[in-house]
Amino acid sequence: MDELAPSMEDNRRAATARLNFLTLDPVRQQDVRPPILASWVRSRRWKLPADRITLPYVADPDLDLPLTRSARPVLQQLHENLDGQPISVILTDRTGMVLQRLTADTQLARHLDKVSLAPGFSYAEEFAGTNGIGTALEGGGPMHVFGHEHYAEDLEDLACAGVPIKHPVNGKTIGAIDLTCWRKDAGSLLMALAKTTAENIRVALLKDSSAREVALLQAYLQSSRRLSDMVIAVDDDLLLMNARAGRSLDAADQRAVLGYAAEILARGTTEAIVAELPTGAWVRIMCRPVESGGDVRHGGAGIIQVSPHSAGLDISRPASGHRPPQRPVLPGLVGRSAPWLGSSREVDNACRAGQWVVLTGERGVGKVALARAAHHQNNPAGLFHVVDAARVGDGLAAELKEELGDDSLQALVIRHVERLDADGVDATLEALYDVLERRPAEPPWIALTFTGEYSDTTDLGELLSLFPLTIEVPPLRHHIEDVRELVPYFLNQLSHGELTCGPDTMQQLMRSAWPGNTTELCQMLKQVVVRRRRTGVISPADLPARAQVISRRSLSQLEALERDAIIRSLIANEGHKGRAAKSLGMSRATIYRKIHDYGIQPPQA
């Protein structure tokens, strides 16, 4: 049934279902295929506009790829066989970026140019919404999308059939083949033809695969069957990992193991080493280069065998500086994501070495908290002070002189150095040079924080020259998974353990962009405790209005007031959009549009 082209009645039902979905009205299951509805939901979560299509573009995509080389004769033969039919043959990479398009029909080609279905543009679902290319790649299998099933209305006149292309050696998706035509011309053979083309490309790739790749795959399969250890196969552009390695090694540990393996393979040795991974686990690593036709490829392809090991046993340790430090647990910090732990590790190492640093990042990301935690980790009894260049003003010189004149001071953070004027920079330089002269052997550890919000800031070149290292602290949206730990941590402080966060509320908090970062999250939870709830479980309705949306852009003050009014009305009317619109004196169509524009997630009626 899925292979059949839709009838006019199917198109009509799909159009109605799409309109209901976009206006947040109920969608009948019989009116839309489940994979399409699931894709619409993802498109909404990605906050994509339904009335237009805007795609990222790469001006000069790399076409010298094994995929394009192997696919070229297959696509050319298909294009010639279609003989002027209004069907476009499209090849993309694994991200959905169009690499090649062959279209014989002039009118269709012009329309595809208009909707940017052309080389260099990405049709990944996160950018283009529901479509044959992006939805096939997202789901990992064949997908056809007809007419009104597309999320973006610019595509509703088209029908497309997309099929992921799997690498013949490792089975990973490396691209997609898509056949696109006018909706009215869609036939039941479109998907069958796309599947056949994808298989022909896979066969061509297999013929073109190097002997080393085949030898590596055979060695990997033999090792995985024979050994109970973690097994990884690696080449310049190939990585295979058995299930145990995938379960046992997180992303940071995988990177560390691959780094050690690269050194072992480069040396051409088979001697095992014992290494400590970022998680603190100790493992035994042994590598075996892969032979192909009698040629041993040192420094490239190899099989990596990893097994748990007890620390301290007398086996060779890594000789180079590649060994990653143990994952730090700095006092007073919350979060276990890789970006956050990476910054923590760098600040901790700098503090331990007494190296002065500049901490950059957006407001509220935790720059001062990182510096304080690193100091307390390495010198828990030492004095730690903070000077705010934005707050002190004319008194900055006196405060710096007082702080740095105290020889018991062990660490100092100077915040907001981007706010310094020329006199402030001179005063700071004078104080820093003075402390270096007075305490040359053991100067205090000093960190500057730089928000980088001001483009017309005073020249800080000479000041920054005293700080050889800059560490960037990631914004919360780049380690959003840490919200799961930050929320209970803050709530425990604010409510003494009497308030928790419900799962729906946690999901809502994790969907926010948090422009104010961790500080904004803490302030919002404090607002909930002060104004709304002090015990029990926080529900989405307890959150302030600004947490009820997924922001697409910065709003003016008037827009923010209107957005908050709509949210309050929806809550008061239990999610009923018609009653909410009436209470606000606006039409139903207007409130639908504004709900979409503001990214409001209304409660279910």
Question: What are the DSSP calls for 402-446, one per residue?
Answer: HHHT-TTEEEEEEE-GGG--HHHHHHHHHHHHHHHHH-SSSPPEE
Assess if residue 159 is contained within a domain: yes
Angle between helix axes 338-353 and 367-378 (nearest 10 degrees) is 50
* Nearest in space to 473 (alpha carbons), one of 490, 491, 456, 448: 448
Distance CA 141, CA 143 (A): 6
Assess if residue 326 is contained within a domain: no
Residues 6+ positions from 239 with CB-CB distance below 8 Å:
170, 232, 233
- Mean pLDDT in consecutive groups of 10 residues from the start of the chain, 605 residues: 62 89 86 91 90 86 85 92 90 94 93 95 94 94 94 94 87 91 85 92 81 74 78 76 82 78 74 78 85 48 84 46 47 83 89 93 93 92 91 80 91 92 89 91 93 61 88 86 90 85 85 84 92 88 74 57 78 83 82 78 60
At which of 455, 474, 493 does a domain end?
A: 474
Assess if residue 87 is contained within a domain: yes
Looking at the fold, whether 272 and 348 belong to one and the same domain comes out as no
Confidence at residue 153, expressed as pLDDT on a 0 to 100 scale: 92
Looking at the fold, whether 508 and 574 belong to one and the same domain comes out as no
Distance CA 526, CA 577 (A): 30
Region of 140 please: left (phi>0), alpha (psi -120 to 50) or beta. Answer: left
Burial label for 381, CB within 10 Å (0-12, 13-18, 19+), is exposed
| Domain encompassing residue 290 | 226-308
Distance CA 148, CA 157 (A): 8
Q: Which structure tokens are listed for 531? A: 């104004």
Confidence at residue 557, expressed as pLDDT on a 0 to 100 scale: 54
The CATH number linked to 303 is 3.30.450
Of how many residues is the chain composed? Answer: 605
Looking at the fold, whether 492 and 459 belong to one and the same domain comes out as no
Confidence at residue 119, expressed as pLDDT on a 0 to 100 scale: 94
The CATH number linked to 54 is 3.30.450.40
At which of 138, 173, 207 does a domain end?
A: 207
Please give the model's pTM, rounded to 2 decimal places. Answer: 0.45
Looking at the fold, whether 350 and 407 belong to one and the same domain comes out as yes
Assess if residue 583 is contained within a domain: yes
Q: Which structure tokens are listed for 17? A: 């279902």
Assess if residue 248 is contained within a domain: yes
Looking at the fold, whether 13 and 107 belong to one and the same domain comes out as yes
Residue 265: how many CA atoms within 13 Å on its side-chain side?
Answer: 25
The CATH number linked to 446 is 3.40.50.300
Looking at the fold, whether 182 and 68 belong to one and the same domain comes out as yes
Residue 6: how many CA atoms within 13 Å on its side-chain side?
Answer: 23
Assess if residue 292 is contained within a domain: yes
Looking at the fold, whether 171 and 37 belong to one and the same domain comes out as yes
Distance CA 225, CA 70 (A): 31
- In contact, 306 and 332? CB cutoff 8 Å: no
pLDDT digits (tens, 9 = 90+) for 367-383: 999 999 999 999 988 99
Tracing tokens 């979060």 back to the chain, one arrives at 335
Looking at the fold, whether 166 and 75 belong to one and the same domain comes out as yes
At which of 308, 323, 346 does a domain end?
A: 308
Beta-sheet strands, E only, within 492-545: 499-501, 536-538
The CATH number linked to 586 is 1.10.10
Beta-sheet strands, E only, within 167-290: 173-182, 230-235, 238-241, 273-276, 282-289
Number of domains in the chain: 5
- In contact, 163 and 142? CB cutoff 8 Å: yes
Confidence at residue 593, expressed as pLDDT on a 0 to 100 scale: 79
Q: Which structure tokens are listed for 225? A: 């069957």
Beta-sheet strands, E only, within 104-172: 143-146, 158-166
Tracing tokens 């961790």 back to the chain, one arrives at 518
- In contact, 517 and 475? CB cutoff 8 Å: yes
Looking at the fold, whether 238 and 117 belong to one and the same domain comes out as no
Distance CA 10, CA 13 (A): 5
Looking at the fold, whether 189 and 64 belong to one and the same domain comes out as yes
Assess if residue 329 is contained within a domain: no
Angle between helix axes 577-584 and 557-572 (nearest 10 degrees) is 130
Looking at the fold, whether 243 and 194 belong to one and the same domain comes out as no
Distance CA 540, CA 527 (A): 14
Assess if residue 216 is contained within a domain: no
Looking at the fold, whether 20 and 43 belong to one and the same domain comes out as yes
Residues 6+ positions from 202 with CB-CB distance below 8 Å:
165, 166, 167, 168
Read off the amino acid at residue 63: L
